[in-house]
Amino acid sequence: MRLQVDGRGVFVYTGGRRFDPAAPTVAFVHGTPHDHSVWGLQTRWLAHHGWSVLAFDLPGHGRSDGPPLSSIEAIGEWLPRAIAAAGASRAVIVGHSMGSLAALEAAGRAPSAVAGVALVGVAFPMRVSDTLMNAARDDEAAAFDMANRWSYARLAHPPGAPAPGCSAYVAALRLMERQPRGTMLSDLAACNAWTGGLERARALHCPALFVLGERDQMAPPRQASALIDAIPGARVVEVRGCSHAIPVEGADELRDALADWLRGPAFGSPNPGG
């Protein structure tokens, strides 16, 4: 599905089903520098179990027009407008890495439009090492390699490599290579600069889910503890043996965590997909 947001074309994946604004909506926000495709399993499952799904390519990523939004504040301000452009009045926002920061920011800026936030592979502050930042500026191929080596606990980890010749690591490299040059640097700089996490977490008035990778080297679980402590009643799920690429490396576990949470009492169970 294609939308117009702020006069620019935006691509949105709807999980293989026509988007129905009357059904409860779950919006997915990818990380650095990815697109909607990282959410393949979770979006299709939810779309076929009673939810309406919006998986955005953020501006300047994937099939959406650019340039990239240069700050978490800008992405958080953009998301409610994009959800509204699809015809939904309210959505649960699921964000991975950079997308998790944007989900928190969106909930603070437009609380009436955000029914809940699921923060996947989140850390605050989300500081980026000088080594990775310099590589993103000077040698993107090296930056892609670093990020992917740090994002997977194993280079051929099921379900990312369910058959001979498949590699989640290589697929992620190719995905990053398809993004316009400079996108990774812009995304990393936005994560590195954002200081609003605790303020947004303390003011949150909707259900929150944290899904963290036990072996995450990019956003270690301990670096989410301040956010968790700031949100009373937050649910926390740790995916054993998983690093940062949770939507792919922990795809089944993330799907199950989302489904259980969305069906649960935080959203007035019973819910669709029960």
pLDDT digits (tens, 9 = 90+) for 183-208: 999 999 999 999 999 999 999 999 99
Q: What is the pLDDT of residues 215-247, one digit of tens each?
A: 999 999 999 999 999 999 999 999 999 999 999
CA atoms within 13 A on the CB side of 256: 7
H helical segments located in the chain: 40-47, 72-85, 98-109, 130-138, 140-151, 168-177, 183-193, 197-202, 225-230, 246-249, 251-263
Domain spans of the chain, in order of start: 2-125+194-267
Strands 52-56 and 8-13: antiparallel
pLDDT band at 274 (very low <50, low <70, confident <90, very high): low
Lowest mean pLDDT among 38-47, 157-166, 172-181: 157-166
Give me the pLDDT at residue 10, please: 98
Give the list of residues 6+ apart from residue 170 with CB closer than 8 angstroms, or none: none
Assigned fold of 2-125+194-267: Rossmann fold (3.40.50)
Positive/negative CA dihedral, 147, 121, 4, 78: negative
C-alpha distances in angstroms, 88 versus 44, 115, 127, 232?
Answer: 18, 12, 33, 27
